[in-house]
Amino acid sequence: MSNTDLMQYFYTDEDTNSIPIDVVLKSEFSAWKKNQSKYLQNWIEASQFKAKASNVLRIPNMQGSLEKVLVIAEIENLMWCLGLCAKQLPAGKYHINSSHKDNEQLYLGWGLGAYQYIEYKKGQDKLCKLHIDGAIDINQLTAIIQAVTVVRDMVNAPASDMMPQHISKECESIAQEFGLKISECIGDNLITENYPVIHAVGRASAHEPRLIEFIWGDPQHPRVSLIGKGVSFDSGGLDIKSAQGMRLMKKDMGGAAHAAGIALAVMRLKLPIQLQVLIPAVENAISGDAFRPGDVLTSRSGKTIEIDNTDAEGRLILCDAITKAVESKPDLLIDFATLTGAARVALGTEVPAFFTNDDSSAADLMHASEIVNDPIWQLPLHQSYRYMLNSDIADIVNSAASGYGGAITAALYLKEFVPPETKWIHFDVMAYNMRARAGRPKGGEAMGLRAVVEFLQKRYTNQQ
């Protein structure tokens, strides 16, 4: 969907005959109610309306037509107050009737809440449009909604329709919009071009593994490299997962989806950086040719890796991509990956973990995350756990014998491939909403994406 499509789907610049949405703070609801007509007070009572954040009340006129909408907001979290509106209101035009009407987050919450994954379930198109005026930066708004939509759509797609070649098609269509071509290294070319670990992990699949790359922007600008784990389906490989553990593994290309989404936003917002996107895309499948526990792989970096567990495949494909990225000495390297279950044990499914070797990036990221209401949390690159990755026969093992601190040991593994002078941020994300919340439907989700875009915008344009 293009910028203009998005604008037409979820928003309108006309406000004639549009229905007002009163945004009332939870803390002010009782006082507000007392000032309303007896009719409205009765309607609130009869509807058993609860003044809970994001709750929506439809208020009819005497003819029974929708005249007004009431939604409840919390002052510390205005972002999601309109998040249920687009789903719960009838098709039509609406406008915000509130002193907060110039707050961009309200419009974002509306647009993100309007998302539906209807690829395989047609016939639900309903257009609720919110009036938007000159006070809102439409390019910024649509860039973010578009980026999040890319992540959700890619993750929600069934694995059979989001194999490495489909991930590459998604990248191609994003790159094309900006006049770019992607370059790819596919199948056995991964061996000749020295990406041996990506090849080893992906070679068992009927769908050839690949490394997808595109570069955008002025070479004079600082280089930012963005890497995303693109495991189209993670069966675990020979160390096969349980049925329950495998059920959601179509989302294991969530890191790739984040890289694609962030790239789209960066390019739409024309950030003054040179962006390199690198996506190793593989299916972690099982066949006679599958890589095995106990195998030793020599990576692009020259480091040898003993395979302890074929299910720790994400860090394997990432390390060859990281080595490629650092060859051009980026100013900043960011990777996104659905890397460990352990990160979810530590922080749950709704807070992505991040690791960094650069304290100032950590502080700036946390700040950005608070500003845009996109929670993230830093975990430590605790070097004394590095011993858990020692191998008897190679430079490193891909998985520690103990699961304790599993998100940290995975990050420490990646760190081995990042030169200490390269500023690096690693995100370990769920990329999936296990439950629906206002503005955040169940299914594929961008997590940390808005924080990173805000962080990049501030860092490279010096906006305060």
Q: Which residues bind ligand BES (CB under 6 A)?
A: 234, 252, 309, 311-314, 338-342, 344, 399, 406, 430
* Catalytic residue flag (residue 121): no
Got the DSSP string for 371-412? Answer: HTT---EE----GGGGGGG--SSSSEESS-SS-TTHHHHHHH
Backbone φ and ψ for 196, nearest 5 degrees, come out as -65, -30
The footprint of Zn ion on residues 38-77 (CB under 5 A) is: none
* Catalytic residue flag (residue 303): no
Which residues 6+ apart lie within 8 Å of 240 measured at CB? 246, 286, 311
Of 86, 154, 77, nearest to 115 by C-alpha is: 86
Q: Of the listed 251, 300, 315, 459, which one is catalytic?
A: 315
Alpha-carbon distances of 266 from 139, 270, 280, 401, 454, rounded to whole Å? 12, 6, 20, 40, 10
Site string for Zn ion, 298-337 (x = CB under 5 A): -------------x-xx-----------------------
Shortest Cβ 155–ligand BES spacing (Å): 12
Between CA 342 and CA 314 the distance in angstroms is 14
Shortest Cβ 429–Zn ion spacing (Å): 12
Of 258 and 344, CB closest to ligand BES: 344
Tell me the HSE value of 447 on the side-chain side, using a 13 A CA sphere. 33
Residue, CB closest to ligand BES = 341
The listed partner (Zn ion, ligand BES, none) that binds 344, CB under 5 to 8 Å by sort, is ligand BES
Q: Of the listed 68, 87, 101, 241, which one is catalytic?
A: 241
The listed partner (ligand BES, Zn ion, none) that binds 146, CB under 5 to 8 Å by sort, is none
Burial string for 422-436 (b: 16+ CB within 10 Å, else e) reads bbbbbbbbbbbbeee
The listed partner (Zn ion, ligand BES, none) that binds 340, CB under 5 to 8 Å by sort, is ligand BES
Of 184 and 313, CB closest to Zn ion: 313
The listed partner (Zn ion, ligand BES, none) that binds 399, CB under 5 to 8 Å by sort, is ligand BES
By annotation, the residues acting in catalysis are: 241, 315
Residues making contact with Zn ion (CB under 5 A): 231, 234, 252, 311, 313-314
